[in-house]
Each structure stands twice: as structure tokens, then as C-alpha cells.
Amino acid sequence: MIGPYALACLDMAGTTVRDDGAVEAAFDEALAAVAVTTGTARYDEAHRFVRETMGWSKAEVFAALLDPDDAERATARFATAYEATVAAGAVEPVRGAPGVLRDLRARGVRICLTTGFAPTTRDALLDALGWRAAIDLALSPADVGRGRPAPDLVLGAMARLGIDDPGAVVVVGDTVSDLEAGTAARARAVVGVLTGAHNEATLRAAPHTAILSDITGLVGLLERSAAAHAGDVDKK
């Protein structure tokens, strides 16, 4: 392991997966399916909310915006739209992400990919990227109860992978809700990356232990943290 770290909970879209705006495009298609169209005040309000809540369960986002029937239809349309993007080959790893997965596992750190996507969408991504063998677990809100910013995805990963101590966990994501979830789970390291939905100023205003330009800096960050931890232990 890298010092105290035994588990890395890594977000998918925007953190380890690059989709060039496919999430927002799928949201637009889902909103249009329930007559929330561009150029209207309702669309502008919904779009602001979608941006603010990136990282949330998609079902929870639509439930907050729409009545129950429309929310159900929009959630289904979002999944269909995003999965079509995946099937078309329009998603790929964030630069360096496959190497980070290999390096973490080579150092004995277990990996859970977390997402606000439905399980079918998540699994389509994993298959398209060929990542099933590269990770230990992947979780969606439907698997654990609540999506981000609640800590359930992180706590669910810990329970399933036999990690009892949140001090052994690093959580990484590109949104405020990722950082809030990691903090709520009391993870030792809560790391924002600048390859996704929220910019540096927005992430720095959220609870975090570090902000990186991209995920390629993660292993080095953990090694430095581990060295500092070892030094602290030696002083006691």
C-alpha cells in the first residue's frame, strides 16, 4: 500500500473518463423529452441546477427539478442518450487515467469507481473502456441508497471491500459533490481534479485536502502524504 492508503474511490465522468460534454448533452436531451427546451426561463433555471449538482445521482437531479412522472421519463432518456454516446465510441479515458489505475493496484491500493450514473450506464462505460479487470468495484447510487453529496458511495465501497478505517481512503472527483461526499465519509484525502465540471475556484471553496490539475498527480500526492504520515508516526 501507499502508507495508510488502502482504497481509492475515483469518480468516473470528468475524473477518470473524458466525454467532451456528453453528460450535459444527455441532460439537454432528457429535459427536451419533458418539454423543457432551450431558450426558456425554465430551461435556464434547470441548466444552472444541473451544473451546480454535477456528480449527484441523475435520478435525484431530475426528481428535484420535475414532477415524479416527468422525472422518471427524463432519467430514462438521460441514460439512453448517454449510453448511445458510449456505444458510438465518443468517450475515452482522461489522459493518464489507465496508468493511474495500474499504479494504484500495483501498490496494493484497491479501486472503486463511483458515479451518479445508473448501473446500466456505468456498466456500458466500463465495458467500452475495458476497465472491469483494472478495478475492484464500481458503484452507483442505486447500489448504496443515496448519491453524492451523501457519503454512501464511499461508505458502500469500504463495506464491500473490507476497509474499516476512513483514514485509509482517498476520494477523488471533479465536482463539489465529490468533495463533500469524501469529507462526509471522513476520508483521509479528499482530492479535486480540474478535468471536469467544476473549475478551480469552485472546488477550492469546497472541503478538500488537495486540488490537482488532473488525476496523473494522484500517486505522487499519496506518496508524499504517506511519507509525511510516516514522519508523524516516527515523532510519537
Is pLDDT at 232 greater than 80 in this prediction?
Answer: no
Say if CB 90 and CB 22 are below 8 A apart.
yes
Find the helix or strand (DSSP H, E) in which 18 lies.
strand 17-18
Question: What DSSP line would sit under 74-95, residue for residue?
Answer: HHHHHHHHHHHHHHTT--EEPT
Most confident of 61-65, 159-163, 193-197: 159-163
Q: What angle is formed at CA 55 by the lines to CA 54 and CA 59, rounded to 5 degrees?
A: 90
Distance of CA 66 to the CA centre of its chain: 24
Mean pLDDT of 15-21: 88
Residues 26-84: tens digit of each pLDDT: 989 999 999 998 889 999 999 889 888 888 889 999 999 999 999 999 999 999 999 99
Question: Which pTM was predicted?
Answer: 0.89
Mean pLDDT of 171-180: 95
Percent with pLDDT over 70 in the chain: 96
pLDDT band, very low/low/confident/very high, at 177 (cuts 50, 70, 90)? very high
**What is the predicted pLDDT for the residue at 236?**
54
Mean pLDDT of 214-218: 96
Under DSSP, is residue 212 helix (H, G, I), strand (E, B) or coil? strand
Most confident of 16-30, 51-65, 139-153: 139-153
Mean pLDDT of 152-180: 96
Residue 205 grid cell: 471553496
Mean pLDDT estimate for the chain: 92
